[in-house]
Amino acid sequence: MNESTEKWLSVAKNVWTLSYQFGNFGMKISTRMTVIRLADGSLFAHSAVPLTAEQKSALDALGPLRFIVAPSAMHHMFVPHLAKLYPQAQLYGSAGALAKHPELPQMQLIPNDEDAPWAGQLQCLPVKGLSTLDETLWFHPHSGSLIVTDILQCWQGPLSLPVRMYLGLTGGHERLTVPRTVRLLVKDKAAVQSWARQIESLPVQRVILLHNSIIDVQPKQRLLEALSIWD
């Protein structure tokens, strides 16, 4: 596990993110945890990353961490680390994430919005027609933040050669897009189209991607362009 020197970044009122660099299949990539302060002052953590003592101290200063969510079967790896640091937190995950963590029997399936402890403050938007992806998007209406895992990507800045080669195959270099690898997984195009229209209707003010970028310049326009492949 790599030692991270990243600091918490405030991206909107009551919304913070923390990036974490790690290696995957020979590529140096980053992932991102997003933390949202709820109305009662407690914290909701989306897609766990490992924390240093300094990062944990900074997080604790924001409020008590009560909820940890693994949003997909691909973004779950560091949940055990965060759960160990915060044994009082409730754990939630997608069906695929739960299946990968039998050692965490306390992890629950992400509930319907109306039954969730964050009801009225966060919307969970499962990707339809792409069951293999097992991904949920999350929308925070108060800040207009849309949190995305893998279905949308945009890699910017200096990138290693392996990453640039990967993006040459999948797309997503300097442009918000649905990677080609994701498009190949579509099982029900009508369901994906219906889901895309739902996402397009949201009053998005920024797109928080787990890999590399946060889109806060023309976010709605760029989101519409990315999802237009399913028009």
Give percent of the chain above pLDDT 70. 87
On the question of pLDDT at 25 being above 60, the answer is: no
Predicted pLDDT of residue 169: 67
Predicted pLDDT of residue 154: 85
Q: What single letter denotes the amino acid at residue 1? A: M
pLDDT band at 1 (very low <50, low <70, confident <90, very high): very low
On the question of pLDDT at 150 being above 90, the answer is: no
On the question of pLDDT at 159 being above 90, the answer is: no
C-alpha 118/C-alpha 66 separation (Å) is: 11
Mean pLDDT, residues 153-181 taken together: 72
Which helix (H) or strand (E) segment holds residue 223: the answer is: helix 219-227
C-alpha 1/C-alpha 170 separation (Å) is: 27
C-alpha 151/C-alpha 134 separation (Å) is: 10
Predicted pLDDT of residue 171: 65
Top-confidence residue, 19 or 173:
19
Handedness of CA 56, 59, 61, 63 (dihedral sign): negative
Predicted pLDDT of residue 106: 93
**pLDDT tens digit string along 119-147?**
999 999 999 998 888 999 999 999 999 99
DSSP-H helix ranges across 32-172: 53-60, 79-85, 95-99, 161-170
- Of the candidates 33, 25, 28, 27, the residue with the CA atom closest to the CA atom of residue 6: 33
Predicted pLDDT of residue 173: 66
> Residue 201 phi/psi, 5° resolution?
-80, -10
Least trusted range by pLDDT, from 13-22, 29-38, 171-180, 181-190: 171-180
Q: Which residues contact 89 (CB under 8 A, 6 or more apart)?
A: 45, 65, 66, 67, 68, 82, 83
HSE-CB for 219 with a 13 A CA cutoff: 20
C-alpha 65/C-alpha 67 separation (Å) is: 6
What does pLDDT average to over the chain? 89
